[in-house]
Amino acid sequence: MSNDFEYGSGGIVGFAPPQSNPTVEPEMATLMPSDVLTLTTRLRGDPNDARKRFGDYLFNLGESLEGFGAIRLGAFGFACTATTYLLGQDEVRRKFEQLSRLYGYPILSSAEAIELALTELGAQRIALFGPYPAWLQAASFAYWSQAGFELAAKGGINLGSGSGSSNTLDIYKLRASRVVEAVLRLDWQSADAIVLTGTGAPTLRAIPDIMCATGKPVLSSNLCLGWAVLRAIGHRAALPVGGDQSVLIDGWPARVAR
């Protein structure tokens, strides 16, 4: 792929993290190959009501995409999993299809990307980790069960039971070491794969440690979204998934900052 810019000979991709999310951009900087130009905009929503905010991210997506101006992306990643859990894949896809026709590039969600990777991996039984408050964790469990996956184990780090803003923002204060500890407490032994959901949770430093400790494929929202976007632009760094392959993107483990 070529373009008119100094950077991005391998393609131009865009991502939109939630407005307070400090995790997506550094993780995508690690995941994306050096020849891919990675740009970001922000999802915008109600600062006080978490349930409304996650819906706003979808309904206001057109305004977020306007932030790219005249730059023509090869593909775009919607870096919020909770929106799909609460609104459903059908509503999300309808909005994405509408905006894809308008802007001329594919739009993928992190939830869709996880499902694509699990399907290619042939994983039906998953151990699901989500560092969410109870109400959002329940929506996550229901979503993956309805999508046809068996939850061999499920759990997370309880960030509160209310529906306000602060209890969903606490995900951003997690450390990878705490994610590893929480995942290893799950009954993951019978799972085909371990899924770390939530784009705000730092997972790239956690994934190799969990894989080493369990011997299981480990997928995360950001890893899968980065892979799906690279695959959408036909980049060679997007690896085929099969057997115990869950690296997904060539070379990223060596780029993880310790």
The Cα–Cα gap between 178 and 50 comes to 24
Average pLDDT over residues 118-135: 94
The Cα–Cα gap between 91 and 99 comes to 13
Average pLDDT of the chain to the nearest whole number: 92
In a domain, 83, yes or no: yes
Decide if pLDDT at 2 tops 50. Answer: yes
pLDDT by residue (tens digit) across 78-107? 999 999 999 999 999 999 999 999 999 999
Residue among 4, 80, 13, 59 at smallest CA distance from 40:
13
The residues with which 126 forms a beta bridge, in sequence order, are 151, 193
Per the structure, the complete domain to which residue 164 belongs is given by 113-220
Burial class (CB in 10 A: 0-12, 13-18, 19+), 58: buried
**What is each CA distance from 28 to 53, 61, 149, 212, 232, in whole angstroms?**
23, 20, 27, 22, 15
**Residue 102 and residue 17 share a domain:** yes
In a domain, 146, yes or no: yes
CB 230 within 8 A of CB 238: yes
Pairing of strands 125-129, 193-196: parallel
**Residue 158 and residue 59 share a domain:** no
pLDDT by residue (tens digit) across 138-173? 999 999 999 999 999 999 886 654 444 446 677 877
Amino acid occupying residue 203 = T
**Residue 231 and residue 181 share a domain:** no
Structural domains of the chain, count: 2
In a domain, 70, yes or no: yes
The pLDDT of residue 160: 52
CATH of the domain at 134: 3.40.50.1860
**Among residues of the chain, what percentage have pLDDT more than 70?**
92
**Residue 210 and residue 125 share a domain:** yes
In a domain, 244, yes or no: no
The pLDDT of residue 75: 98
In a domain, 253, yes or no: no
In a domain, 258, yes or no: no
The pLDDT of residue 68: 97
Q: What separation, in Å, do the N-terminal and C-terminal C-alpha atoms of the chain show?
A: 32
**Residue 129 and residue 52 share a domain:** no
CB 75 within 8 A of CB 229: yes
**Residue 216 and residue 118 share a domain:** yes
**Residue 119 and residue 63 share a domain:** no
Pairing of strands 150-155, 125-129: parallel
Residue among 147, 109, 108, 144 at smallest CA distance from 128:
144
pLDDT by residue (tens digit) across 193-234? 999 999 999 999 999 999 999 999 999 999 999 999 999 999
**Residue 158 and residue 102 share a domain:** no
In a domain, 246, yes or no: no
In a domain, 190, yes or no: yes
CATH of the domain at 229: 3.40.50.12500
Residue among 126, 119, 245 at smallest CA distance from 191:
126
Decide if pLDDT at 114 tops 80. Answer: yes
CB 13 within 8 A of CB 77: yes
Q: Choose between 37 and 163: higher pLDDT.
A: 37
